[in-house]
Amino acid sequence: MIDWLKKVSKKPLFLPLVSVFLVLIINVVYDAIQGNYVFEFLKFELKEGALYGRIIDILNRGSEAAILAIGMTLVVSSSAGTDISVGSVMSLAGSLCCMLLAGFGVTHVREIGELQMPIFVGVIAGIAVAGLCGLFNGFLVAKMKIQPMVATLIFFTAGRAIGLLLTNNKMVYIHLEQFKVFGGKLWIFPTPTVIAAVCILIMTLVLKTTSLGMYVQSVGINPKASRIAGINSVAIILLCYVICGLFSGVAGIVATSRIYSADSNNIGLNLELDAILAVALGGNSLGGGRFNLAGSIIGAYTIQAITTTMYALGVAKAQAPVYKAIIVILIVVVQSPAVKAYFAHRKAQKEGGLAVAGRS
């Protein structure tokens, strides 16, 4: 049994699946204490033509973090650093999209005829500018050799401010069903969940059918050796940041559509922390190298489940990031080289002691 547990604990998805199991147990206990059906957490139903339930809400609300986690996984793996600008870039993408649709200085669009351009053009422009932000970040990291956190600090600081400049420091509302669909529902499913699934599917197919995943991991493990082997590490890191930027733009459009407005101060707020935590919770090393995309996706939805559970337990929204930060610290410490070296040393001492005892 102990050998089986040791073998299972070394699987890449062990940490995220254990986290999901712990969240499920907490919810089951909470519902039992409240006198609810013990599996209320997993219950869902079809109501007014749409799926409802706590698990559906988690899948819906966790979509932006799941989309961000895709790009963040590649960035962490290739550059051994994090992109802390993804939340601000989300806000910038949404603000640009709404400004282009409404026109500069206009705060409300209520009729389709009031649009300054087709909705799909505004959406593509928002995603494209997010990709340019990723390109800028990638250039600083890959070419200028600036530490990822310092390089992405620029758009972390300036992204929301640029969004406010674009919207003339006002909220811009798009009261059109054609725009709300990105954050609303598609048939019986929440559209953000469908968009997240499509993004995951596309990235999975790219990683399965091309050598990108292998190149990213090679560059993350040893950039110099990768370069000697003929891999253009600068181009790979640059591409990872562009992909991260594009997915930030997609998440920004979803978040903007949910509230059918450009709220530059609040869209994507603190979501960079969720994306980083998703990567760590997914069993990926924040020091770069090998990565597991499925683990990051499970990690993203686990974080949303943790958030939903904290709200259910009465934790204030303003205090939730504190608990998430504690989880990040614990995971990073467990994954640190010093802790790994300590346990490796303890294991070597134990095996050495057993060998001496066996000879005597």
Tokens matching residue 258: 């949910």
Residue positions counted in the chain: 360
Tokens matching residue 220: 């993350």
Count CB-CB contacts under 10 A for residue 283.
25
Count CB-CB contacts under 10 A for residue 93.
34
Query: What's the half-sphere exposure (Cβ side, CA atoms, 13 Å) at 345?
Result: 6
pLDDT of residue 223: 85
**pLDDT tens digits, 45-77:** 888 888 888 889 999 999 999 999 999 999 999
**pLDDT tens digits, 163-183:** 999 999 999 999 999 999 999
What is the Cα–Cα distance from 306 to 320, expressed in whole angstroms?
9
Nearest in space to 59 (alpha carbons), one of 180, 197, 186: 197
Among 17-21, 94-98, 190-194, where is mean pLDDT lowest?
17-21
- Average pLDDT of the residues in 136-154: 95
**pLDDT tens digits, 278-327:** 998 888 888 888 899 998 999 899 888 888 888 877 888 778 778 777 87
Tokens 């598609």 sit at which residue? 186
Predicted TM-score (pTM) of this structure = 0.90
What pairing do the DSSP bridges indicate for beta strands 44-47 and 50-53? antiparallel
